[in-house]
Amino acid sequence: DVKVTQSSRYLVKRTGEKVFLECVQDMDHENMFWYRQDPGLGLRLIYFSYDVKMKEKGDIPEGYSVSREKKERFSLILESASTNQTSMYLCASRKGNTGELFFGEGSRLTVL
Amino acid sequence: GQNIDQPTEMTATEGAIVQINCTYQTSGFNGLFWYQQHAGEAPTFLSYNVLDGLEEKGRFSSFLSRSKGYSYLLLKELQMKDSASYLCAVIPSGSARQLTFGSGTQLTVLP
């Protein structure tokens, strides 16, 4: 079974702090994604990566950056957290351009 | 731009049949997914349609009409555990790696 693991299920940070969200997948998938999920807005794509060191902006990249130094690991970085970044963050991976997304359990971030 | 519409909420009775609709307007089309998400959990894959017609998988079926930009998820013999959010997602053309998600339909199954 594909496993996508996110480092933290729950985080509480203060405004201005730097936040790292880590995601690891164990099935050698080329594509990895970071989404945020908010009530009434659904899943919105922040960034995705289709190869090591390669990344593309999604629909809402402002305030975020990403890092993909190894194929299995995709990190989401909030350089200076703000309260409007309080959300559920979901990592996903996918093999090639077909097939389903496999999601991690999610990281619920609260920024105070 | 991409636009995917689903009803926000639906309610049905245990043992009944429910149909959750999804309409989309996207820049091209490379396939449509349905995902199920229980509260506090990750979305899990239910179905994938790329050609017109009905795909059946046990109690769940998914239908696609590309000319109408329309899909539905049909759940039969509803069980309490089917209470969840159901997400419709489309792969637009030009960026086959990405999926664009609708806001989800929260289904409540009543005894």
pLDDT tens digits for B37-51? 999 888 999 999 999
Query: Which of A48, A100, A105, A108 is best to mutate for the B interface (most B CBs within 10 A)?
Result: A100
pLDDT computed for residue B94 by the predictor: 64
Determine the Cα–Cα distance for residues A102 and B45; give it in Å rounded to an integer.
8
Q: Which residues of chain B neighbour A97 with C-beta distances below 8 Å?
A: 30, 96-97
CA distance A14 to chain B (A): 23
Which residue among B31, B42, B87 places its CB closest to the CB of A42?
A: B87
Mean pLDDT (chain A) is 93
Largest CA distance in chain B: 45
Q: Is the pLDDT of residue A28 over 80?
A: yes
pLDDT tens digits for A55-101? 999 989 999 999 999 999 999 999 999 999 999 999 999 887 767 88
Query: Which of A4, A32, A37, A59 is best to mutate for the B interface (most B CBs within 10 A)?
Result: A37
**C-alpha A94 chain-centroid distance:** 13
Average pLDDT on A33-58 reads: 92
Q: Is the pLDDT of residue B91 over 90?
A: no
